[in-house]
Structure 1
Amino acid sequence: MAQNKPFRVVIAGGSVAGLTLANMLQANNIDFVVLEAYPRIAPQVGASLGLLPHGNRILDQLGLFDKIMELSTPVDTFTFRNDTGRPIASCRDVNHSFTERHGFPILFLDRQMVLQVLYDNIRDKSKIMTSKRVIKVELNDDTSTAITSDGSQYSGDMVVGADGIRSTVRGEMWRLANKLDPNSIDLSEAQEVPCDYNCIFGISSSCPGVKAGDMNSVFRDKTSYLIIGGLHGQAKNAIKAAMHEDILPGVKFSKLIENQISSSMTPLVEHVYKKWHFHRVMTVGDSCHKFHPIGGHGGNAAFETAATLTNLLVEALNGSSTGHLTTAQLDHVFRRVQELRHSRTLAVKGYSHEQQRTESLDDFSRRIIALHLLPFVDSEDVTFNFSCQIPASEKLEMLPVQRRERLIPFKDELLSEPKSRGLYNWLLIAFYVILAAAVYYGMWILPGSWGLAPLIGDVMTTGTFKEDQSFKLLRSYTGISALDDYFVFLAVIFMPGLRALSPSFRMLQVYFLGMIAQPIVIWTVESFRKRNAMTLLAIPSIWFTLFQSTGIGFFMPLYYAVYTWISDVEPYWWPLRRAVPLQNAKVLLAASLIGYFLPTILMFFPWGSSEAAQYTETFWQPSPIYVPLLSTALGAVYRFLNPDRPGEKTCPRAKDKPADVALLKQVYAVTGILGVLLHWYVLFGTLNSHYVSLVSVFVPDFSLYPMPLADGAHNIFLVDFWGFVVASYVWCVAAVWDLKRVGRTTANVTKAGLVILAAHFLLGPGAAMSAVWYWREEVMAIRIFSSVGKLHLD
C-alpha cells in the first residue's frame, strides 16, 4: 500500500460491534469501510439488546446515549417468578439504584434500533456497504484484503471480523494461520465450542401486566423465561415500517408476518476464543467472545473490545512517523487487546452461564438458592450481583467522559487499576495462621513447663494466695457450676496482677487490656459494614467470646486471616459497601465508652474489698461483647426515635456526602486519644518507677523451669500481648497496601509501614490502629478520583 494513503480498517460485518468500531474510528479520523452481508444495515431479526451502564458510558462518549434513551425505557423493576408466574422476589427502583451507582441505567431495546442509531451517526454513508458478504481474506506484508461474494476486493492495513459467532473472518484467520504459521492457532478449538442452551426469542405487542421498564425472570426446571417490557407500540411500529420491504423476488416482509409461527430459535454458543488475531486480521464482538444473553453482556463486551482496539490503534498510530503500522506493530496491538480483555470476557462468560444455571434450576443447590433463599435476600444485594461486572470495564481513552456523580467508580476513575493480592493473599493468610499457632503454643502448651497447674490448684483449693492471705476467693457468681468454675479459674489468673502481687504484671494488664479497646471498636465497626454482612466478620460477639476464653493473641490473627480471605476482590472496596448504618455510627462512641472503657476502669479501681475486685473482674470478662450489643440496641432506639430518616436498604444518592464518615472518625479520634494517654501513662510510669522496668513489664521469660504463679500468669499475658501487637501491626500495614492495590491511594507502603511502626512505639498499638482507620475511612469513602491516563502498549 502506498504510504501516502491513510491508514484504513476494513470491517467485515455491520453488526453492533462493527458499527460501534466504525463510530470510534470516525471519532479519531481513522479511515474505514464496513462490509455488511445483508441488504439492509439494520435488519429486523426480532432480537433485543441489553445496554448496561458501562456500555452506555461508551455510547455517551460517542454522543449517542441520549438518542438511545429516547428509544427506550430504563429497567426499573426486577421480578423473579416461579414456574406458576408467582413472584419469588422483586427489586424496585432499579433505575434509581443503577443510575446512582454507576451514572447510567440499564436499557433493553430492539437490536435494530441500536444499529440504526449507530448507522445514522456515520457521517459518510458511502463507507457502509450492504450486500457485501465477506467470503475470503488475503494477506501480504503491509495490507490485508477482504473479498466479498460479488467478487469485490477491499484492501486496508487490517481486516476486522465483526461478523458474529459464525464468523467467516475467524475461519479465514484460522486458514491463513494454518498455512503460514501452523503452531500459532489451535484449530481443534472449532470443534470444542460449547452450546448448552437454545433460545427462543421474539417481540410481541403489549401484554397485560408487562409494563415498560419491568424485567421478569421466570425460573423453571431446565428452562427459564426473560420478559422485558419496552415502550408501547415499538414492536408494532418496527414491523409496520418493514411490511413492504422485499426479502425475496416477489416476496415482501408482510408475507412473513401473515404466515408467522410465533418465534425464532437459535443455539446459544458460549465461548471465548483462545486467539483473537493473526497477522493483520483481528476479531471483535461475538466473533471472539460469545456469552449467554441472559445477563445482557454481549453488546457491552463488544463495545469494550472495540474501545480497547481503538485506544491501542490510536496510541500506536500517534507514535508512527509514517501513519501506518508494520505487521509486527499491529500484532503487538492485537496481542495487547486480547491481554487486556481476555480474562474479563472469561469472567463475564462464566457469570452469564451461572446466572442461566440458577434461573433454570439446574441442580439442587441452585433450586434452593433461587426458590428458597432469594426471597430473603436484600434488594441491594441482588443489585450488587448485577453491578459486579461493571466497574472493571474499558472506555475510550481519548474522548471525554461526562463526570456524572456515582457511588461506584469505574477503574479509570481510580488512582490505579485495581489488582488482586494474588499469591500474597495466601502468604498473608498463612502468616496469620502460623502466628496464631505460635501464640497458642506459648499460652497453652509452653506453660506446662512452668509448673503453674499445681499452683493454680492450690489457690482454688485454699481460696487464697500465699502472698496475700487476706484475699478470699469467691466460689459462686451465677449459680451455674461450670460457668462459676471458669470464672474462679480466671480470677486466679487475673488477681495476681489486679491485686499488685506482681507490679510488673499489673502494669502489663493495665496496658494490654486498655489497648485492646481500639480493636474491639474497629471490629464492631467492621461488623456493621454492608460488605461484611453474611460473613464471619458480621458476628463480633462470637470473636470476642472466643478471644476472651482463649486469648486475643490467638484469635486476632485468625480474624485477620478471615478478613484477608474475603477482602481480596475489588467490589469489597466499593464506597457503597463501606458504609455503616447511621443509627449504629451515631451510638458507637457511647456504646464503646459504656461497654468496654467503663468496665475496664472499674476492674482496675483499687477496691479495698477482694469481693468487689472479683465481681468487677468477672463483670469485665464479657465486656468486649457489650460494645456490639449496645451499639445494636442503642441504634435500634435511635432508629425508633428518628423514623423519618431514609432506610438503610435504599440506595443513597450519589451527590449526598456519606453521613457516617464524620461520626466514625470521631470514634477513632476519641478512642485513639485515650490509647495515647494510656500509652504515655504506662511508659512514663514505668520509666519513673523503682519497682518495674520496661524489660520486666514487656519482655517474656521463656525459661523452662518452675516459676511463681504471678510470673507464669505474666508470661502467658505477654505471649497474648505480643501476638496482638504483631498481628495488629501487619493488619495495619496490609490496610494501607489494600487501598493502594485497589487504586485508592498512592502511598508508599514501605514508608507507611515505618510510620505505623514508629506510631506503635510513640503512641501505642491501639492508637496506631485508630490512626490508620481514621485515614482509611476517609480514603474508602471517596467515590471518584481524578482519572489517570494509561498507556496500554507499555
Structure 2
Amino acid sequence: MDDAERSRFRVIVVGGGVAGLTLANALEQADVDYVLLERRKEVAPQVGASIGMFPSAARILDQLGAWKAVHEGSEPLRVFYTRDSAGQLISEPDLSALMAHARTGYQTAWGERQNLLQVLYENLKDPSRILVNKDLVDVRHDSDGVTAVCTDGSSFRGDLLVGADGVFSKVRAKMWELAAPDHPDLIQADKNCMISEYNCLFGITKGLDCPRLTPGDVNTSFNRGRCCLSIAAEGGKVYWFAQERLPETYHLGNIPRYTDDDASDFVDRHGDLVVLPGPDGLTLADLWPKTVSSRLVAIEEAKFELWHWGRIGCVGDSIHKSTPNLGVGGNAAVESAAALANGIKRLADSWATSGRRTTQAEVEGMLAEYKAIRELRSDAIVDASGFLARAQNIHGLNTQLFVRFFLPRLAEFLPELMSNAIIGATKLDFLPLPMASLTGTRPFNPVQGDGFRESRLKRMFLALPLLSLTFIALWVMDVTTALEWAESLRNSGVLHLPSGSVPILRSFYYLKGFDDFIAIVNTFFFPTVYNIDPVSRQQLVSFLTDGVVMVTIWVFESARRGNILTIMQLPNLFTALGQLVGIGVVAPVYCFLHYTFSPIENFSALDQRLTNTRVSFAALPAVVLTYLLPFYLTISWPGELVFRQSLLYVWQLYPVWLSLAIWGISRLCFKNTMASDKVYHPQKDLPVMRLYVGGAAALSAGVWWWTALAGGYGLREVFMPDALPRSMGSLTAFAGQFLRWDEVFGFGAHLVWLGYLFWDLAAAGMLREGWFAAAGAGVVSLLLVGPGATVGMGWLWREHILATRRHKCALTPESVGRLHGKAV
C-alpha cells in the first residue's frame, strides 16, 4: 500500500524483542495499524538469557492480558540473600519480593527471556503483522512519511518508524546520520556516551541436585572486581549471571565481543565464585556442567540524549541501557513501549476523527512528549543499576565504604532501590487498570519514585525558619551571666531555705569533674525542687510533663522504617544535647532535620510509616521509668531533702538511662516482628501509638489544667516569659525566665514543625479538612489543653492520615473512580 492509499496512521516497528513485541501488543489493542520487522528467523530464540518482570512491567502486561501466562511460566521471587566473597551473609535475609507483592499487587517473576517473547507473540490476535527475516538496511525519510528498506529488497512505508532493535540499533544509527548535519555535537556526544566496564556470563542451569536451593531464593555474592547472582527455580533450574570488571572502559566502536571459548575461559577464571557457602554449597564451577544455555557479553551502559528525529523514534535499550544487576532493563523497555503507545494512540485517534493526515510536526511533538515523560525515570534507573553493579563488584572507594559499613545495616537497600524504580511506572492510558494494581500498600504513583524524588536541599531551605529559632534561642537563653551565681552557690555547699539549710550534694557518680558539672546544672532546678519559686515550680512540672509527649514521639520516629539511615534514629543524641543547652535550643534543630529528611514520599508505602514494634512498644514505659518518674520523685520526695538532689543527679542523665531502658525492655519483653509486620501488618503499631501518645497527651492536659486552676496564678503568669534571663538579678529569677523561654522555643518549634508537616499533607491531597482548619484546631487545642497535648494530638492525627489516606496522584480504586466518575 503506497502513501496515497493509506487512510490510517501506520507504525513500522523494527525489532521483535521485549520492547518491540510489547509495543506491537499495545498498538494492536489500541487499533493502530502497524508492522513489525524482525531480523532473526524466529521470534523467540533461545540465547541463554533470563529476565525478571517486576510489578512496573507486570501491570502493563496485565493490561495487555499477557501477565497470567508470563507469571505461570516464571518463578516468583521469595527471599534475597546478600553474601560476601566467602558466601557469608552481609545483611539479614530480606523478604523484599513478598513486600513488593504486598505493595503493588504483583509478584516479581523470573524466567527465560524466550518464554516472555513467546507469550507476547502468542498474545497477539493477528500475528501476521510480525515479519521475520527482515533485516533493516536503510531508512528513507521525508516530510510525508518514512520507509524501512530490508536486505531482501522489501520496503515498508509508514508515518512513524520505531527502533526497538537493541543497544546496537540500526535505526538509531540511521537517525544519527540524518540528524548529524543539524546536530553534530549532540550526535558525537551520544556516540561517546555508551560505555562498558564489565562483562557478564548469563546462564540457565537445569537438573541441578542441591537440596539447599529453595525455589524463589536469590543469592548475590559481592566480590572485589567480580560478582555472581543466582535465582533458584523449580526442578533444579537455576538462572544465573556472573560478572567481572574489564581492564579498561570501552566505548561504542571498540566494545568487545565474545565466543563460546571465551565463556569457558571465564568459568576457568571465576569458577570459585560462591553461590552457596559450605562443603555442600555451590560455586559457579558447579553450575557450569549442567548449564544448558549461556552467553558471554559485554555490559553496556548508556543514557542517550537523542531519542527521536523527524518521524523516527527509539524505544528500550536503543535509548536507555542499564546493567543487569538491578534486573530492571526489560521492565524499562516495557514502560517505554507503553509510553510511546500512549502517544501513538492519540495521533491515530486524531487522524481517525478529523480525517486529516498527521503532519511531521505533530509526530515530532508526540515524540518529544514521550521523551519528556520517560527520560527522568529511565535515566534514574540506569544510574541506580549502575551503582548496584559497582557495589556488587566493589568498584571504587565509595562502594567499598557502602558495602563495608552501610550494607550490613541496611537490608532494605535493594528492596527500596527496586521499589523506587517501580512506583512511578508508566501505564497504558487507553486500557483499564487491573484491580490488582490498585490495592497494594504502596500504590503506583506517576509523580513519585526514581526521577521524581523531592530535593532535600529545597526542603532544607523551606525549613530555615525552624533552624533560625535555634539561633534566637541561643541568644535569648544565654547562661553566661548565671554561671557565676550557680558556681558560687555550688561552692558554698549550702542552700538556705526558709525552713532551714540543705547541704548541696557535690559527689554522686564519683567522677569529680563530671559531678562538679552536674552540680552546677542542678542549682538551676533548686527553685523548683525546693519550691523556692512556686510559679516556676508549676511551670516546670507542666513543661517536663509535656516533655513525655515529645520524647515518646522522638522514640517512635527513631523506630520508623521511613527514617532508616537518618539522624532521626538517634533521639537520645537530641535529648542529651537538650539536657546540656536546653531543649529550646535543640528542639528546633530536631524539627528542622526531621522536616528535611522525612518528606511525604517517604511514606508512600504503608510499611514505611510502620515503626519497629520491638522499640516502639517499649517507648512510653522507658520514658516514664527513666524520665518522668525520677523527676516527679525529685520534686515530691517526702523524706530527707538532700536526697532530692540524688534523684536530680539521676534525672539529669535520663538520656543514658532511656537508651538502656529501651534496649532492655525491647529485648526482654518484645519480639522483633518487623520482617512479617512490614509485609502483613503495616498498621500493627497504630494502637500502641494511640495509647502511648494519647495517654501522655491526656496527662499533659491534666497537668495544664492543674496549673491553670491551682495556686491562684494565671496561665500567662506561669508560662509566658516577660524578660530576658540575663536581665534578672538572681539565680532564682534567671531560672524562672530561662525555663519559660525553654518551653516557648521547645514546644513552639514542635508546633511550627506540625504546621510544616500538615502543609505537606495538604499539598499531597491527603489533608481533606484543609490546612487552615488544621491550624485553627491547633490554636484552639493550645489554649484548651496546652502545648504538650496539642503536639501529641497533632502528631497522632498526622499518623492516622499517613496510615489511612493516599497521595492525591496515587492510583487506588477511589482515585481512579473519581477520575472516571464512577466506582472501580
* Same fold at TM > 0.5: yes
Report if the CA contact (8 A) 1:491-1:617 is conserved: yes
1:286 is matched with 317
Map of 1:383-782 to 2, 5 A cutoff? 383-397=415-429, 398-403=431-436, 405-411=439-445, 420-421=454-455, 423-428=457-462, 430-444=464-478, 447-448=479-480, 451-464=481-494, 468=498, 470-475=500-505, 476-568=507-599, 570-571=601-602, 573-605=604-636, 610-623=641-654, 626-627=657-658, 629-639=660-670, 647-650=673-676, 652-654=678-680, 656=681, 658-683=683-708, 689=713, 694=716, 697-702=719-724, 705=727, 707-740=729-762, 744-745=766-767, 748-749=770-771, 751-782=773-804
Name the structure 1 match of 2:289: none
* Per-residue CA distance 1:455-474 (angstroms, 9 max, x = gap): 32332233455774734242
Q: Structure 1 residues 227, 517: closer, same or farther in 2, change over 3 A? A: closer
- Shift in CA distance, 30/788, structure 1 to aligned 2, threshold 3 Å: farther
Write the distance in 1 (CA, Å) between the matches of 2:593 and 2:262.
62
Contact 2:494 / 2:503 at 8 angstroms: preserved in 1?
A: yes
Question: Equivalents in 2 of 1:81, 1:614: separation in Å?
Answer: 53
Aligned counterpart, 2:29:
27
Matches within 5 A, 1:40-439: 40-83=42-85, 91=93, 95-179=97-181, 181-182=182-183, 185-209=186-210, 212-232=215-235, 263-315=294-346, 321-322=353-354, 325-363=358-396, 366-367=399-400, 369-370=402-403, 376-377=408-409, 379=411, 382-397=414-429, 398-403=431-436, 405-411=439-445, 420-421=454-455, 423-428=457-462, 430-439=464-473
Superposed displacement of residue 120, structure 1: 0.7
Structure 2: how far apart are the matches of 1:774 and 1:693?
26
CA deviations on 1:720-757 (whole Å, 9 max, x unpaired) are 22221332122212222344556655564455345434
SS at match of 2:500: coil
Amino acid at match of 1:393: A
Distance 1:390 1:601 in 2: 51
Distance 1:353 1:191, change over 3 A: same
* Cα distance in 2 for residues equivalent to 1:235 and 1:525: 42
Indicate conservation of the 8 Å contact 2:441/2:607, yes or no.
Answer: yes
- Structure 1 runs not aligned, ≥5 long: 237-255
Give the deviation of 1:519 after TM superposition.
0.8
Query: 1:665 is matched by which residue type in structure 2?
Result: R
Query: 1:406, 1:783 within 8 Å by CA — same for their partners in 2?
Result: no
Instruction: Please state how far the C-alpha of 1:625 moved relative to its aligned partner.
Output: 5.4
Tell whether the 8 Å contact from 2:325 to 2:389 is kept in structure 1 after alignment: yes
After superposition, the Cα gap between the structure-2 partners of 1:151 and 1:380, relative to the gap in structure 1 and judged at 3 Å, is same
> Could you say if the C-alpha distance between residues 258 and 383 of structure 1 is closer, same or farther in structure 2, counting changes exceeding 3 Å?
closer
* Distance in 2 between residues matched to 1:594 and 1:233, nearest whole Å: 55
Once residues 476 and 225 of structure 2 are traced to their aligned partners in structure 1, the CA distance between those partners, rounded to angstroms, is 56
Structure 2 residue aligned with 1:243 = none
Higher mean C-alpha deviation, range 345-354 or range 68-77: 68-77
Aligned-residue offset at 1:62:
1.6
Give the drift of 1:497: 3.8
Shift, 1:438, TM fit: 2.5
> Is the 2:448–2:601 Cα contact (8 Å) retained in structure 1?
no
Q: SS in structure 2 opposite 1:224?
A: strand
CA contact (8 A) 1:144 1:156 kept: yes
CA distance in 1, matches of 2:260, 2:390: 34
Aligned letter for 1:340? I
Over residues 440-467 of structure 1, what are the superposed CA-to-partner deviations in whole Å (9 max), with x where a residue is unaligned? Answer: 23223xx44xx43443233223345577
Closer/same/farther in 2, CA of residues 9 and 559 from structure 1, 3 Å limit:
same
Say which SS state the counterpart of residue 146 (structure 1) adopts: strand
SS in 2 for 1:411: coil
Q: What's the TM-score once normalised by structure 2's chain length?
A: 0.82
Instruction: Give the 3-state SS of the residue equivalent to 2:427 in structure 1.
Output: coil
Quickly say closer, same or farther: Cα 1:132–1:286, change in 2 above 3 A. Answer: same
Distance 2:97 2:191 in 1: 40
Alignment correspondent of 2:276: none
Please say if residues 9 and 160 of structure 1, whose CA atoms lie closer than 8 Å, have aligned partners that are also in contact.
yes
One-letter code aligned to 2:227:
S
**Letter of the aligned partner of 2:26 in structure 1?**
M
| Whole-angstrom CA distance in 1 between matches of 2:373 and 2:121 | 28
- Alpha-carbon distance in structure 2 between the residues aligned to 1:266 and 1:84: 26
Cα drift, residue 17 of structure 1: 0.2
Which of the pair has the greater relative contact order for Cα pairs under 8 Å at 6+ separation?
Answer: 1
Q: Cα 1:668–1:421, aligned 2, differ >3 Å: closer, same or farther?
A: farther
Q: Matches of 1:155 and 1:437 in 2, distance apart?
A: 70
* Secondary structure of the corresponding residue to residue 472 of structure 1: strand
Conserved in 2, the CA contact under 8 Å of 1:665 and 1:777? no
Q: Distance in 2 between matches of 1:150 and 1:331?
A: 30
Kindly tell me: are residues 422 and 314 of structure 1, through their superposed partners in 2, closer, same or farther at Cα, counting changes over 3 Å?
farther
* Partner Cα distance (1:423, 1:91) in 2: 33
**Is the CA contact 1:132–1:148 (under 8 Å) kept in the aligned structure 2?**
yes
Other structure's SS at 2:595 match? helix
When normalised by structure 1's length, the TM-score is 0.85
- After TM superposition, give the deviation of residue 330 of structure 1 in Å: 3.2
Residues 465, 717 of structure 1: alpha-carbon distance in 2 compared, 3 angstrom cutoff: same
Contact 2:106–2:436 at 8 Å: present in 1 too? no
Q: How far apart, CA to CA, are the structure 2 residues paired with 1:94 and 1:453? A: 55
Does structure 1 retain, via aligned residues, the 8 Å contact 2:49–2:295? no
- SS of residue matched to 1:40: coil
CA contact (8 A) 1:407 1:783 kept: no
1:632–1:310: structure 2 CA closer, same or farther, 3 Å change rule? same
Q: How far 1:370 moved relative to its partner? A: 4.2
Q: Deviations over 1:647-704 (max 9, x none)?
A: 33336544x5622212211222222222223333434558x53xx6725741341387
Q: What letter corresponds to residue 462 of structure 1 in structure 2?
A: S
Identity %: 27
Asked if 1 retains the 8 angstrom alpha-carbon contact of 2:18 and 2:330, the reply is: yes
Say which is worse superposed, 183-192 or 344-353, in terms of deviation. 183-192
